[in-house]
Structure 1
Amino acid sequence: MPLSKPVERELAHTRTIVCQGYERKDGLWDIEAQVVDTKPYSFPNKDRGGRIEAEEALHDMKLRLTVDANLVIHAAEAVTEAAPFNYCTAIHPAYSRLVGLRIAPGWNQRLKELFGGIQGCTHITELFATMATAAVQTVGGSIMRRQQFVDPDPTSIPKHLHTCHALALSSPVVLEHWPHAYRPSQTVSTQDQS
């Protein structure tokens, strides 16, 4: 179903974010993300030869996190292909502080502490929430594929349940696919999952 028809308008900005997850041969996973911002018009810019042309990347930043099966970060690398200021690239080494952290509850708050404000690049840091989801999907999918979707404890409540509207323990989706986990009451707490 498409969005409703908008009023007459003109494009002012495009942001594209792509995340990809890779299973490595050494037992780890690489999660890569890229953010690209473009404008449909040209404008002056001193650091980029005097001008950024229409549809030329204003921002083009990439980040790679290497994680293990527990989502602990083993390596982190940030690069900037395009930015409005040459000085933007000076922040890249800061992202090595991610090594040893685990993608887990509290992740977004921890990143604000480490890279908020002048401690990081706004655009690179914005990639982390999307990358966390991609990491869970990548690692979890790889492990499930290896286990051929066999749940070692079919009576337990899978961790991905009760994490969104469609997967609420009281939803018809859970009733159909995970009937053992279904709870008809809307008052199920996240503590009930353990």
Structure 2
Amino acid sequence: MPLSRPADRDHIHTRTVTCQGFRRKDGLWDIEGHITDIKTYAFTNDDRGEIPPGEPVHGMWIRVTIGDDLVIRAVEAVTDYAPFHGCDAITPNYENLVGLKLGPGLRKQIRDRVGGVHGCTHLNELMGPVATTAFQTVFPILARESLEAKKQDDPSADGASKPARRMPLINTCHGWRSDGAAVKRIAPEFYTGDK
């Protein structure tokens, strides 16, 4: 269901964030993020001169290479468009993220390594959607492969006799609340609602 009909208005700005996940042939995973900010009007910028409508004010990319464990093995950052000359000078600093694990506490660790004058606000913001894209990319494939391997060992296996597991998503949002229907159905051992 889309949003309700808006009031009369003029379109001023568009921020686009795109993230994609890839499985590499060497078994690692690449997660790529791209962010752009575009105005619908021309304006003058001290460093770039006239920026026409539709030309990005910001245009940054980041590629994070991770393993199955979500630990960052490599990072590449690129700034195609920035409001100031020299913004791209800090992109090599993103290699300082190598060794971090995508998960709880990531934002603080990013601030510690590439925060403030040592990084780019937009690239740092982009790491949030990159991390969630990593989860959406890696875990479903690993789960499917695990189930397929179990079925090869025992063709009657249907995944019903799952080993004890940790569910890091419980209570991270309304849909994953411990007393909700999704948890009752997907992870009943963690369900806390009415029995």
Q: TM-score scaled to structure 1, two decimals?
A: 0.86
Q: Which amino acid aligns with 1:31?
A: I
Partner of residue 189, structure 1 = none
Aligned length: 184
Which aligned pairs between 1:13-162 and structure 2 lie closer than 5 A? 13-48=13-48, 50-148=49-147, 150=159, 153-162=162-171
What is the DSSP-based 3-state SS (H/G/I as helix, E as strand, rest coil) of the residue aligned with 1:10?
coil
Given the alignment, which residue of 173, 178, 181 partners 1:169?
A: 178
What is the DSSP-based 3-state SS (H/G/I as helix, E as strand, rest coil) of the residue aligned with 2:86?
helix
Contact between 2:22 and 2:137, CA under 8 Å: does it hold in 1? yes
Contact between 1:167 and 1:173, CA under 8 Å: does it hold in 2? yes
Which range is displaced more, 23-32 or 4-13? 4-13
Does 2:11 match 1:11? yes
Report the CA distance between 1:133 and its aligned residue. 0.6
Separation in structure 1 between the aligned mates of residue 141 and residue 78 of structure 2, nearest angstrom:
27
Separation in structure 1 between the aligned mates of residue 142 and residue 165 of structure 2, nearest angstrom:
17
1:42-93, CA deviations, whole angstroms, 9 ceiling, x for partnerless residues? 1112433x21110111111000000011111110010011112221110111
Contact between 2:64 and 2:75, CA under 8 Å: does it hold in 1? yes
Q: Which amino acid aligns with 1:184?
A: G
What is the DSSP-based 3-state SS (H/G/I as helix, E as strand, rest coil) of the residue aligned with 2:132?
helix
Contact between 1:156 and 1:181, CA under 8 Å: does it hold in 2? no
What is the DSSP-based 3-state SS (H/G/I as helix, E as strand, rest coil) of the residue aligned with 1:16?
strand
Which range is displaced more, 106-115 or 124-133? 106-115
- In structure 1, list runs of 5 or more residues that go unmatched: 186-194
Separation in structure 1 between the aligned mates of residue 185 and residue 117 of structure 2, nearest angstrom:
48
Report the CA distance between 1:33 and its aligned residue. 0.1
Q: Which amino acid aligns with 1:38?
A: I
Partner of residue 192, structure 1 = none
Contact between 2:33 and 2:61, CA under 8 Å: does it hold in 1? yes
Q: TM-score scaled to structure 2, two decimals?
A: 0.86
Q: Which amino acid aligns with 1:47?
A: D
Contact between 2:96 and 2:114, CA under 8 Å: does it hold in 1? no
Report the CA distance between 1:173 and its aligned residue. 1.9
- In structure 2, list runs of 5 or more residues that go unmatched: 149-158
Separation in structure 2 between the aligned mates of residue 2 and residue 135 of structure 1, nearest angstrom:
27
